[in-house]
Structure 1
Amino acid sequence: MQLLNRPQLLFLDEPTSGLDSVTALDLLRTFHSLAHGRSSEKVVTIVCSIHQPQSKIFYLFDSLILLKQGNIVYQGPRQQAMDVYRMAGFPCPLYSNPADHLLDVITPARTIDDQSASSEKQTDADKLILAVQAPVEIDLNMGAHKRIAQMADLPKNPLWITQFFILLRRNFQEQIRSSKIIVTSVIQTIIIAILIGCVFLQIGNGQSSILRRSPVIFFCAINQGIFGALMVINSFPVERALSLRERASGTYYASAYFTAKILADTLVQAPVPVLFSCIVYFLVGFQLVASKFFIFTVIIILCSFAATSLALMISALCKTTDMSVTVLPMALEVTRLFGGFFLAPARLPKYFSWLDALSYIKYVYVALSLNELEDLKLTCTANELAAGKCITEGEVTIRDLGLDYISIGGCIGVLFAFIIGWRVIAFFGIRYLKH
């Protein structure tokens, strides 16, 4: 990511470690092209350590520093290294890797028997190599004229949209690498949805179905809230150190990083509540009306996004993963307690009204209840009619539960406000909190 902004100086510690020979060669060729850019490009000075390079990689270097026990044995152009060794009496054999030869000469024996015998030889070899080298003159203005000539043509930092798409691709690649977690989440969603559907299988339109609808609706709300929050709670603490370092070097803007992260998570997360809705809605036997199924699905998606937004805010404001994982359950418990199922909002003490207003689950529960109970026609048995305890319309239940103080559109609007507001707070946490 640091190469995105083409820094003037780049330090690399064994960049070829763990790579095969072909990939390592391609990587070093890329570095070589960065260090020898055209006059219209921003040249990058690259300093790197490397372990046992092949000959093709060796010839890509411009200058070498050979170290032995913290002391410099050779420092200078790569082309002169073999001449210095030859003048010191250590010519490179034919068909040998020059890099291996340079290190073999200054490397002491590995066995105990040979170590004492070779110690004096190694000391003499080091002295000879140092003796034949010309004094190293450090030109503090080295490259200055070339850089001054480049100043007028220096490329600007990548556009915000370029940063965004590069970061978006990186986030998608990370999602692919964690595909097992995503698959596990999908499987869990399917299992839970089937269990809910089987427990409340085809509740029907009888009088008893009134009492059974509220629990299943509330459980749908808290279930999707938990799954949405758990998927993203570790997002920012894990990446904070890397993000701060990359942003400090001017690699990208915080807004580009945050937007790409949010979009990637959203696109991966969105199918889960849709799948949940398709299974639960028809197994439970909610009203078979296309518009009501669509509204149910939209509200479940917004529930998942609201929980995700709450978790993102907590993740952005907390310093560590342990802290965010500790705070999230408490926040979710509060939203469930004031979710409108255990106690109607009208019956809450006034000093808890602010917690009631901040419970996104309440608005999900109310919206789902209104969607299901409105225009619902209920049936009665002969005994229920004779007893005069028959409710034939769902609107009566809405009034009895005290859910007629807000509309479905109002609930959706509040959920959008939560989603946007909590994500804005999360962005400011990412942007300004350095921890």
Structure 2
Amino acid sequence: MSQPVALTAFFVTQTLRGLSRDGRTVIASVHQPSSEVFELFDQLYLLSEGKTIYFGQASEAYEFFAQAGFPCPALRNPSDHFLRCINSDFDKVKATLKGSMKLRFEASDDPLEKITTTEAIRTLINFYRTSHQCYAAKEKVDEISKVRGTVLDSGGSQASFLMQSYTLTKRSFVNMSRDFGYYWLRLLIYVVVTVCIGTIYLNIGTSYNSILARGACASFVFGFVTFMSIGGFPSFVEDMKVFQRERLNGHYGVTAFVIGNTLSAMPFLIMITFISGTICYFMVRLHPGFEHYMFFVLCLYASVTVVESLMMAIASIVPNFLMGIITGAGIQGIFMLVSGYFRLPNDIPKPVWRYPMSYISFHFWALQGQYQNDLKGLLFDNQPPELPKIPGEYILENVFQIDVGRSKWIDLSVIFSMIIIYRIIFFLMIKISEDVTPWIRGLVARRRMQQKNGTQNTMVAPSLLQSPSLRNYVANRANGRGKR
């Protein structure tokens, strides 16, 4: 270690030591510290392959290793000696040198020259289990575990709920505006796709062949166009990672996060759907009229927002990019199957698929509403042309099997209610993850610790009973409990 690096390490450790004197607990993971740096630590915890070698006062570690049969040689840094005793890589290096370079190692009084590091580790582990450091650590753990109702103060935020929501909305809005791939590239793709739709169904008219063409156009717009919204899932996962880190520090609540995420995405989704929806509507020449135009773009906005809300709910429980996208795509694929286009509503098998799957599919309600919005009030040419024209209401009832007695605005309101439902599910998933998951992990960890302690007690007890110091220790503990 060069001198500037050594000085920097000493300065950093000395600063951390000063912080610990102000009532803070500082935990540092270090590798091969200098003797000056090592002397600054109060407690020392040595691990080897996940097993405890030593846990106690750093100043007592030197004597602990000496009593275990591994005294620190003169002129050797104690921390280097401890590392030498518990790192089995030294055995591999020595074996390699002896085998390839035919080196001869001079005899010494170091016990590690006579046994392997693996044997030394096993000896140290067993010695630690019978040491007073181990019993002191267990007593401290038992003392801490008996404390109930203590609430750790993580600092938290002094801002009001409205300020938290405003700040999160503003920050999320800025992040989204700077993320080219999340919204701006999506806007470009949406525009390109809707231009393609507009050129394929250009000025579709009211001929006999346009009846099914209008249905296909609506199915593609509200099926496959909204399907592209799953592309934002990686950004949702990153938002969840930031939220989890900041939530642990108590900076804001779950409700403020959900509200901020919802409000910040709203302007971008409105812009994307209104621009692309306007292009598609006027190029295809769907049912003319401002009311019909507004319904079309509002229905498209609601459908895209439902997908965003669904993917956010998935992101709260599936943090993996690939698995989340596959899950979201699978759910939407099932929803499209029961939308009423690939199989007419009355022909969908009633158990499961008709009830309830078609009713929880937003594609079903979007197509029901758009079919009414586009066909109701129009007259289509018959085949042959000399026959009377076909009213749109007749097509809705007999071709697409739609209940014309239900208003299209009810269909739209159902989609908006799904947005709220998915956001509530998103909120509940976060709360469950915060409250239930740690409880389950704690329960599993406690059971494992109980099993481990039971195993250790069974293995160590016969050898411990032969120790006079342990018998005195147990007798003193029993007398102390009797006095209480």
**TM-score normalized by the length of structure 1:** 0.62
Question: CA 1:284–1:44 in 2, change beyond 3 Å: closer, same or farther?
Answer: farther
Question: CA 1:271–1:384 in 2, change beyond 3 Å: closer, same or farther?
Answer: same
Matched ranges for 1:305-320 at <5 A: 305-320=305-320
Question: What is the letter of the counterpart of residue 300 of structure 1?
Answer: L
User: Who is 1:71 aligned against?
Assistant: 36
**Which of 359, 363, 375 is the aligned partner of 1:357?**
359
Cα deviation, residue 306, structure 1: 1.5
User: Who is 1:221 aligned against?
Assistant: 222
Residues in 2 aligned to 1:168 and 1:384: alpha-carbon distance in whole angstroms: 57
**Which of 390, 393, 396 is the aligned partner of 1:395?**
393
Cα deviation, residue 380, structure 1: 5.1
Residues in 1 aligned to 2:318 and 2:223: alpha-carbon distance in whole angstroms: 23
| Uncovered stretches (5+) of structure 1, i.e. residues with no partner | 1-13, 15-34, 36-42, 50-66, 76-153
**Equivalent pair of 1:317/1:426 in contact (CA under 8 Å):** no
Cα deviation, residue 156, structure 1: 7.2
Question: What is the letter of the counterpart of residue 364 of structure 2?
Answer: K
User: Who is 1:130 aligned against?
Assistant: none
**Equivalent pair of 2:156/2:250 in contact (CA under 8 Å):** no
Give the 3-state SS of the residue equivalent to 2:221 in structure 1. helix
Matched ranges for 1:18-417 at <5 A: 69=34, 71-72=36-37, 157-231=158-232, 233-351=233-351, 352=353, 353-379=355-381, 383-385=384-386, 388=387, 390-400=388-398, 401-404=400-403, 406-417=406-417
**Equivalent pair of 2:156/2:252 in contact (CA under 8 Å):** no
Residues in 1 aligned to 2:165 and 2:420: alpha-carbon distance in whole angstroms: 19
What is the CA deviation profile of residues 200-233 of structure 1, one whole-angstrom value per residue up to 9, with x for unaligned ones?
Answer: 11111122211211000111101332133332x2
Residues in 1 aligned to 2:257 and 2:297: alpha-carbon distance in whole angstroms: 29
Cα deviation, residue 253, structure 1: 0.8
Residues in 2 aligned to 1:278 and 1:380: alpha-carbon distance in whole angstroms: 29
Cα deviation, residue 244, structure 1: 2.4
Give the 3-state SS of the residue equivalent to 1:384 in structure 2. coil
Residues in 2 aligned to 1:285 and 1:155: alpha-carbon distance in whole angstroms: 55
Give the 3-state SS of the residue equivalent to 2:379 in structure 1. coil
Question: CA 1:398–1:179 in 2, change beyond 3 Å: closer, same or farther?
Answer: same
Give the 3-state SS of the residue equivalent to 1:71 in structure 2. helix
Cα deviation, residue 46, structure 1: 13
Alpha-carbon RMSD: 3.1
Question: What is the letter of the counterpart of residue 222 of structure 1?
Answer: G
What is the CA deviation profile of residues 283-337 of structure 1, one whole-angstrom value per residue up to 9, with x for unaligned ones?
Answer: 1111221111111111111111122222222222224223211211110100110
Residues in 1 aligned to 2:414 and 2:268: alpha-carbon distance in whole angstroms: 24
Residues in 2 aligned to 1:46 and 1:185: alpha-carbon distance in whole angstroms: 48
Cα deviation, residue 379, structure 1: 3.8
Aligned length in residues: 295
Cα deviation, residue 198, structure 1: 0.5
**Equivalent pair of 1:229/1:304 in contact (CA under 8 Å):** no
Give the 3-state SS of the residue equivalent to 2:390 in structure 1. coil
Give the 3-state SS of the residue equivalent to 1:193 in structure 2. helix
**Equivalent pair of 1:367/1:412 in contact (CA under 8 Å):** yes
**Equivalent pair of 2:156/2:249 in contact (CA under 8 Å):** no
**TM-score normalized by the length of structure 2:** 0.56
Tell which deviates more after alignment, 363-372 or 199-208: 199-208
Cα deviation, residue 248, structure 1: 2.1
Question: What is the letter of the counterpart of residue 391 of structure 2?
Answer: E
Question: CA 1:182–1:416 in 2, change beyond 3 Å: closer, same or farther?
Answer: closer
Give the 3-state SS of the residue equivalent to 1:342 in structure 2. coil
Question: What is the letter of the counterpart of residue 393 of structure 1?
Answer: P
**Equivalent pair of 2:218/2:370 in contact (CA under 8 Å):** yes
Residues in 2 aligned to 1:280 and 1:220: alpha-carbon distance in whole angstroms: 9
**Equivalent pair of 1:207/1:391 in contact (CA under 8 Å):** no
Name which structure has the greater RCO, CA cutoff 8 Å, separation 6+: 1
Question: What is the letter of the counterpart of residue 71 of structure 1?
Answer: E
Residues in 1 aligned to 2:37 and 2:408: alpha-carbon distance in whole angstroms: 75
Question: CA 1:347–1:246 in 2, change beyond 3 Å: closer, same or farther?
Answer: same
User: Who is 1:3 aligned against?
Assistant: none
Residues in 2 aligned to 1:430 and 1:158: alpha-carbon distance in whole angstroms: 21
Cα deviation, residue 241, structure 1: 4.0
Cα deviation, residue 278, structure 1: 0.6
Residues in 1 aligned to 2:392 and 2:236: alpha-carbon distance in whole angstroms: 44
User: Who is 1:150 aligned against?
Assistant: none
- % identical equivalent positions: 19
Residues in 2 aligned to 1:156 and 1:269: alpha-carbon distance in whole angstroms: 30
**Equivalent pair of 1:204/1:285 in contact (CA under 8 Å):** yes
| Uncovered stretches (5+) of structure 2, i.e. residues with no partner | 1-8, 10-18, 41-154, 438-484
Structure exhibiting the larger radius of gyration computed from Cα positions: 2
Cα deviation, residue 45, structure 1: 8.9
Question: What is the letter of the counterpart of residue 281 of structure 1?
Answer: Y
**Equivalent pair of 1:373/1:394 in contact (CA under 8 Å):** yes
Give the 3-state SS of the residue equivalent to 1:270 in structure 2. helix
